[in-house]
Amino acid sequence: MKVTDLKGIGPKTAALFEKLGLFNAEDLLSYYPLHYDFYEEPRAIGAAVAGEKCAVQGVITRTVAVKATGKVTIFTTQIEDPTGKLRLTWFNAPYVQSLLRRGAVFIFRGNVVRRGAELLMEHPEILTLAKYEELSGSLRPIYGLTKGLSNGVVVRAVQQALDLLPRAEEYLPEGLLVDMGRLLREEDALEAIHFPKDEAELLSAQKRLAFDEFFFFVLAMRRLRQMEAAEENAFPMELGWKTEEAIAGLPYHLTNAQLRVWNEIEGDLVGAHPMARLVQGDVGSGKTVISFLAMLLCAENGFQSVLLAPTEVLARQHYEKLCAFCATNAAFAGVRPVLLVGSLRAKERREALSAIAAGEANAIVGTHAVLEETVVYKSLGLVITDEQHRFGVKQRAALAERGTGRPHTLVMSATPIPRTLGIIYFGDLSISVIDELPARRLPIKTAIVDETWREKTEHFIRKELDAGHQAYVICPMIEPAEELAAMDVGTAARRLRKAFPDISVGILHGRMSGSEKEKAMAAFAEGKTKILVSTTVVEVGVDVPNATVILVENAERFGLATLHQLRGRVGRGDAQSYCIFAQGSESKDVEERLSILKKSNDGFVIAEEDFRLRGTGDLLGIRQSGDPRFRAADLGRDRDMLRLAGKIAGRVLAEDPELSMAEHAGIKKRLEAYFAAEERIDSL
């Protein structure tokens, strides 16, 4: 059914829907609300807090004042209750003049802001007591919108779609549904996620839909694993002496955990089936050298390998490092690296491509450009991704089809997913864990400070610089933005240059060109710039062991996982390192969140705590993971559903691996649709 078949939706609105990816009426059903508006009990005026949305009941004590300023006309009045007074303003709302007579009583609902010493409610909704009574306690869906589209239009469209469209049949066999206890039926969950009666119903709906998303995700991963495990190793390798020599030639001893993981990888590469392995290791655990060893082994066996990084900065750094290994470690003599990133000049790119096609280059380092179809490999035997998501179904199939067989895949990640969940979530991969940091590393000292500490912080950075070390300063933004009070790279750099006139300060952010970024990174790595002011582009993987202090501005604006990754940029050498989180907010929640980082340096512990905190708080807001596979599910909040999905998927597949039993027909059909949708996701 087309969206234009719904009442009240013409071609103009349909075009707006299209912008949101909504083409059919069916799409509306899974266009879940971003969050819900909750009409809670009105507060006493004295209890209104700046920065919060609330409802207050009061009597109007002043005639509406009108002030015209250019395009906007501002209407102002004031209300009172026994606990206090509150000023109210509206923009371009002439109707309030006749509505709000002195002495009348209404409920006003809106955002409270501070203006000087006074509190003010901006553009509040105006409701009669009776109307408020009616709405009170109810949840109204708020959808993601685009310019020109109002929430009401989406609400009415979704309502019609729910009324008109036939609901998909429940795919879970009755027996399982019963075993799973209080899970809502799918069709009821779909209704309730849009129009929940109350919080309890919303919660059950979220749980059920999260279960569905996880269930097919897990099933798909396990099927994929079964299929791949049945394939033959198209690039069988033999172990030689070279990797042993390489390890002996390192300037440090590999940790026991690194050695163990390396053994597991070797076992896969010489084994009967293609490798599909995840290496989980906290920041700084030394994953890079493991990937280089795998590339070396691959080259020694006459195959090519690819190392894929999420950013160009990181790809270039890996490339430089690999070249340095080749130059200093004799065992790497047969490894011939080449860099392939988007910003190469045409000639460089041509040369790289022909070296790859001819097999002259056998260790290719790059960004996702390396997987484009225009890149022709001679014998691609191993694909490694660093700090990036897994390969999708389609990507894997494409890799398998393009060359002489399915290459081995290795995923390197400091994934913030707690171990027990990781086993379910990464059901398509074997997992190796590097659970040990190189010896001689001193734990990073972490401090959480506020604005009053700025001088001390600068003093501290100065001391580290004087000792010959370097510093990162991380900002949430590139340029100042009015509406967000947060530090930006430009301002921070200016301020630091003024505070340290004799120190060279470099900057790095995503809007710089590839070669500018490269220059900035290289200058910092070589110690030419002492302070690097950057956005989170340095978040993953960047390795400059001489940097011993990192200052993160407006730390409250980053997630814990990101902060932990950022902190991992220091503490990579022998010297004591420091991490300073500067927070620009006084909220208790922020403090609790940040204090987790102070208590622990262990990524897994932090992930656990982060999940625990988010798990309880986020009922009314559906988090946007950005992954179209998870529209309703949140790994933190719905971890119980991931566990349940893992359990049920295991049970179903154990009983009926091919899903050929009649009672699993529904599951089978949905799984096929899921694989098809997954392909679409991959090719986005």
Q: Which residues bind ligand ADP (CB under 6 A)?
A: 252-255, 258, 281, 283-289, 414, 438, 541, 543, 545, 568, 572
The residue among 167 and 253 lying less far from ligand ADP, judged by its C-beta, is 253
Residue 354 backbone dihedrals phi, psi, to 5 degrees = -75, -35
Point out which span in 24-32, 153-161, 541-549, 624-632 binds Mg ion (CB under 5 A): 541-549
Q: For residue 511, give both structure tokens.
A: 């809007």
545 binds, among Mg ion, ligand ADP, none (CB under 5 to 8 A by kind): ligand ADP
Which CB sits closer to ligand ADP, 204 or 317?
317
* DSSP 8-state symbol, 624: -
Among residues 613, 617, 616, 637, which one has the least CA distance to residue 625?
A: 637
Q: Which does 670 bind (CB under 5 to 8 A by kind): Mg ion, ligand ADP, none?
A: none
Kindly state the smallest distance separating residue 540's Cβ from Mg ion, in Å. 7
To the nearest whole angstrom, how small is the minimum distance from the Cβ of residue 371 to ligand ADP? 21
Tell me the C-alpha distance between 305 and 285, whole Å: 22
We find the least distance from the C-beta atom of residue 343 to ligand ADP, in angstroms, to be 23
Shortest reach from residue 609's CB to Mg ion, in Å: 23
572 binds, among ligand ADP, Mg ion, none (CB under 5 to 8 A by kind): ligand ADP
User: CB under 5 to 8 A by kind: which of Mg ion, ligand ADP, none does 286 bind?
Assistant: ligand ADP
Nearer to Mg ion, 403 or 541 (CB): 541
For residues 56 and 283, which CB has a smaller minimum distance to ligand ADP in the complex? 283
Name the nearest CA neighbour of 563 among 592, 594, 532.
594
* Residue 463 interacting partner from ligand ADP, Mg ion, none (CB closer than 5 to 8 Å by kind): none
392 interacts with, out of Mg ion, ligand ADP, none, CB within 5 to 8 A per kind: none
- We find the least distance from the C-beta atom of residue 308 to Mg ion, in angstroms, to be 12
Provide the residue count of the chain: 684
State in angstroms the smallest separation of the CB of 337 from ligand ADP. Answer: 16
Under DSSP, the state recorded for 168 is P
Q: Which is nearer to ligand ADP, 255 or 329 (CB)?
A: 255
The DSSP line for 396-432 is HHHHHHHSSSPPEEEEEE---S-HHHHHHHTTTSEEE
Residue 523 burial class via C-beta count within 10 angstroms: exposed 0-12, middle 13-18, buried 19 and up: middle
Q: Report, in Å, the least distance between residue 399 CB and ligand ADP.
A: 23
C-alpha to C-alpha distance for 222 and 393, rounded to whole angstroms: 12
Indicate the pairing of strand 118-127 with strand 105-115.
Answer: antiparallel
Tokens of 576: 């004591």
Instruction: Spell out where 303-403 has E strands.
Output: 304-308, 337-340, 363-366, 380-386
Select from 309, 329, 155, 339 the least CA-distant residue to 245.
Answer: 329
**Distance separating alpha carbons of residues 264 and 413, to the nearest angstrom:** 16
DSSP class of residue 445? Answer: E
Which residue stretch of 127-135, 335-343, 538-546, 607-615 sits at the interface with Mg ion (rule: CB under 5 A)?
538-546
Shortest Å, Cβ 539 to Mg ion: 11
Q: Please identify, using beta-carbon distances, which residue of 414 and 493 lies nearer to ligand ADP.
A: 414
d(CA 152, CA 165): 20
CA distances from 431 to 282, 329, 350, 481, 521 (A): 14, 29, 37, 43, 32
Region of 21-29, 112-120, 397-405, 539-547 interacting with Mg ion (CB under 5 A): 539-547
CA distances for 98 relative to 59, 66, 75, 93, angstroms: 15, 12, 12, 11
**Residue 252 interacts with which of ligand ADP, Mg ion, none, CB < 5 to 8 Å by class:** ligand ADP
Least distance to ligand ADP, CB of residue 575, Å: 12
Smallest distance, ligand ADP to C-beta of residue 317, A: 9
By a kind-dependent CB cut-off of 5 to 8 A, residue 255 interacts, out of ligand ADP, Mg ion, none, with ligand ADP
Q: E-assigned strands of 263-336?
A: 276-281, 304-308
Is residue 541 involved in binding Mg ion (CB under 5 A)? yes
Q: Report the partner that residue 42 touches, choosing among Mg ion, ligand ADP, none (CB closer than 5 to 8 A by kind).
A: none
- Name the amino acid, one letter, at 221: M
By beta-carbon proximity to Mg ion, the closer residue of 541 and 573 is 541
User: How far does CA 36 lie from the centroid of its chain?
Assistant: 22
**669, containing H or E segment:** helix 665-682
Smallest distance, Å, CB 542 to ligand ADP? Answer: 8
Q: Which residue is nearest to Mg ion (CB)?
A: 541
Choice between 83 and 600, CB closer to ligand ADP: 600
Comparison of 110 and 416: residue with beta carbon closer to Mg ion: 416
Report the residue number, 407 or 541, with the smaller CB distance to ligand ADP: 541
Which token pair is 217? 């995700």
Distance between CA 193 and CA 207 in Å, rounded?
A: 10
Residue number, 119 or 314, with CB nearest to ligand ADP: 314
User: What are the residues binding Mg ion (CB under 5 A)?
Assistant: 541
